[in-house]
Amino acid sequence: MPRNWTLSFEVMPPRNPQTAPKFWHNVDELVKLRPQFLSVTYGAAGKNRGTALDVAIKIVKDTPITPLAHLTSADMAKEDVEKVVDKFLQHGIRMFLALRGDPQTVDTERKVPVGTKMVESASELTYLIRSHDRRNQRLNASEKFKSIARPLVIAVAAFPDGNPELRTNQDQEIERLLEKQDAGADFAITQLFYDSKVFDSFMQKSRKRGVTLPIIAGIMPTWEPHRLNRSFENIGIRPSEQLLRDLNNADNDELRENIGLQFFQNLSSHALQSGATGLHFFTFNNSEPSVELLKTMSS
């Protein structure tokens, strides 16, 4: 039965050659599920931008799936961002996720010349990508044709319960989403969440405030307590206490998997009922939980 919602996955470029075979095996498994796109992470402070480009190029060449290339703006000059954008565009990659990203750590800071125009936000990055592509089209007829055949698409992040890093709340993040929409974003992908009521509130308030962008719900299917806890440590989104308790009390792997599948099936179904355009699964380069969840949802 055909899906009436979009499906996509996030993959993380392998950090070393030894993990590359496993990474591409997971990509192959995800491609079999016919997603609308695969998002390719960029790394903290753009640390693995070269690898991300290589992965996106290979996805374009070897699969029928479109890559969504992450771009971050933190600590980056306008001129440097434009060079990175050009590299992706030159290889036919015309779908981006515009993110503010993490600032560089102290030991990786670089001195920026006085007067350098920095890209301060995801909204600025969104506007920059789109305006840079328009300028390329004016200067080059072939670029104009490419834009007709394959329009530029820009996604942005949304935070249903506020952004822990910036200490914003839901209402503030809706205002930020409106700014991204005005800057030229085409759709939004939410940060992961565990409470369907929070997501429903975010969707209702967003639509009332004038957000018209399609919003895709970000889901991290897992039944491993350590993965949930590690995610909380990294991004500050607190997992469901009930889910953690049930998983920790389970005495075997099969029971933990059933508990996790039931929880994330309910969460995914509620997100779609609340108006999400589709589901975006954060895989952490492990296709199995997403594959199993989709099987459960289609049964």
pLDDT at 236: 92
Residue type, 80: D
Q: What is the pLDDT of residues 213-253, one digit of tens each?
A: 999 999 999 999 999 999 999 899 999 999 999 999 999 99
Instruction: Report the alpha-carbon distance of residue 209 to residue 228 in Å, rounded.
Output: 32
Inside any domain, residue 1: no
pLDDT at 74: 78
What is the token pair recorded at 112? Answer: 């920026």
Contacts of 292 (CB under 8 A, 6+ apart): 221, 257, 261
pTM to 2 decimals?
A: 0.92
Inside any domain, residue 29: yes
**Residue 232 — φ and ψ, nearest 5°?**
-60, -40
Inside any domain, residue 221: yes
- Is 209 in contact with 238 (CB distance < 8 Å)? no
> Which residue segment(s) compose the domain that 79 sits in?
6-298
Instruction: Report the alpha-carbon distance of residue 23 to residue 286 in Å, rounded.
Output: 8
Q: What is the pLDDT of residues 279-293, one digit of tens each?
A: 999 999 999 999 999
Inside any domain, residue 215: yes
Q: The domain spanning residue 37 has which CATH number?
A: 3.20.20.220
Q: In the chain, how many domains are there? A: 1
In 3D space, the residue among 194, 184, 185, 131 whose CA is nearest the CA of residue 158 turns out to be: 185
- Is 186 in contact with 153 (CB distance < 8 Å)? yes
- Is 149 in contact with 94 (CB distance < 8 Å)? no
